[in-house]
Amino acid sequence: MSSSTILSIVTFIYGLAGFLYIFAWVFKKESAGRLATWIAILGFAGNTVGIVMRWIESYQLGIGHAPLSNLYESLIFFAWAIAFIYLFVERRYESQIIGAFSMPLAFLAMAYASLSPNISDRIQPLIPALKSNWLIAHVMTCFIGYAAFGIAFGTSWMYLFRQRDTGDKSPLFDRFPGIDALDELTHQLVKFGFLFLTIGIITGAVWANSAWGRYWGWDPKETWSLITWLIYAAMLHVRYFVGWKGWQSMPGKLLGAFIVVLIIGVVFVFFKKLFILPFYFLLLVSLIKIFGAEQRKLFAYLSILGFAAVLFTYFGVNLLPGLHSYQSMGQ
């Protein structure tokens, strides 16, 4: 049995796990939730075996390399990272409801890889630019960060649903973790993802220097990676001031405005670039805080927006010409 066959089977295992998590949530069946967990573990194990087998198969073909070089391989690793982080979160927070908002993401990633006619599962030799251990570090750290952001995307929706569920309790939302727990979980996931995304951008710059002789070139992928990084940086900027009472004072408001202007000035001076979207987005965040918006709700909205930027960084830039698109990499 080949790795591609095993990974195709894993697609349906993840789909069944996601279905059972949703079933357990909607119909309040704890037994279905426990079964979903065991099926998710089985899918994760199969995903791991499939990745290892694909790595071994590449060596048997005489073109040995880590299975992280094209869109198919990145998708199966993305699904693996989502399942791994989710299973840790479930064990840590003892809440299977989160699986209804997380495991479908792993299923969709695997389904796109396995079922899309536009994606080939053939093992292909690496082009010279990809023959670097820095590429392995870059892809792994970026996709671990993406996976954390994906689960944070799910918990952000859970927070918003729970936050609106005031007064009469909805039977769909009354089993969600508490609003404070969801907010803190989203915060922890974003911090974890931001750390790995930062490492991914740094290792990517080092790899780019070894492959193309420059650290940064404003390629579409590099540009949108920076925009994604800035959105999550804005989220953590918002979160930092949640508990600071002085933020609502006039000195605090002036400090926030100063930080935004300073960031815009530094980027303009040193990079000679001014991306209106992320920097004016930071300015908007500061204005919202000045007018007293509830920061935790804003944090959830930014998490959803951030994951949309992640998806565009991952898929959207492949439609644009650039060295980082999977079409350019021989996909």
Per-residue pLDDT in tens (0 to 9) along the chain, 331 residues = 889 999 999 999 999 999 999 999 999 888 999 999 999 999 999 999 999 999 999 999 888 888 988 889 999 999 999 999 999 999 998 889 999 999 999 999 999 999 888 888 888 887 776 777 888 899 999 999 999 999 999 999 999 998 876 655 677 787 888 888 999 999 999 999 999 999 999 998 888 888 777 777 777 788 888 888 888 887 887 776 555 444 455 455 555 555 555 555 555 544 545 454 555 556 555 655 554 556 788 888 889 989 999 998 888 776 655 555 544 443 3
The predicted pLDDT at position 329 comes to 45
Choose one of 58, 92, 125: the last residue of a domain: 125
Choose one of 125, 153, 175: the last residue of a domain: 125
Question: Within this chain, do residues 82 and 164 fall inside the same structural domain, yes or no?
Answer: no
Question: Within this chain, do residues 117 and 131 fall inside the same structural domain, yes or no?
Answer: no
The predicted pLDDT at position 245 comes to 46
Question: Within this chain, do residues 73 and 174 fall inside the same structural domain, yes or no?
Answer: no
Whether the CB-CB separation of 33 and 21 falls below 8 Å is answered with yes
Which backbone phi and psi does 123 adopt, to 5 degrees? -80, 125
CA distances from residue 7 to 11, 53, 204 in whole angstroms, order as listed: 6, 10, 27
The predicted pLDDT at position 15 comes to 96
Question: Within this chain, do residues 288 and 233 fall inside the same structural domain, yes or no?
Answer: yes
What domain count does the chain have?
A: 2
The 8-class DSSP code of residue 268 comes to H
In the chain the first and final C-alpha atoms are separated, in Å, by: 24
The predicted pLDDT at position 233 comes to 83
Question: Within this chain, do residues 32 and 50 fall inside the same structural domain, yes or no?
Answer: yes
Question: Within this chain, do residues 131 and 120 fall inside the same structural domain, yes or no?
Answer: no
Question: Within this chain, do residues 74 and 141 fall inside the same structural domain, yes or no?
Answer: no
Question: Within this chain, do residues 151 and 101 fall inside the same structural domain, yes or no?
Answer: no
Question: Within this chain, do residues 133 and 105 fall inside the same structural domain, yes or no?
Answer: no
Q: Per the structure block, which two tokens stand in for 237?
A: 């900027």
Question: Within this chain, do residues 136 and 50 fall inside the same structural domain, yes or no?
Answer: no
Residues 116, 205: Cα–Cα separation, whole Å: 31
Q: Per the structure block, which two tokens stand in for 184?
A: 């803190």
Residues 43, 21: Cα–Cα separation, whole Å: 14
Whether the CB-CB separation of 235 and 228 falls below 8 Å is answered with no
Q: How far is CA 29 from the centre of its chain?
A: 29
Choose one of 125, 141, 159: the last residue of a domain: 125
- For residue 94, what are the domain limits? 1-125
Residues 287, 253: Cα–Cα separation, whole Å: 9
Question: Within this chain, do residues 104 and 132 fall inside the same structural domain, yes or no?
Answer: no
Question: Within this chain, do residues 163 and 307 fall inside the same structural domain, yes or no?
Answer: yes
The predicted pLDDT at position 265 comes to 53
CA distances from residue 46 to 43, 53, 274 in whole angstroms, order as listed: 5, 10, 45
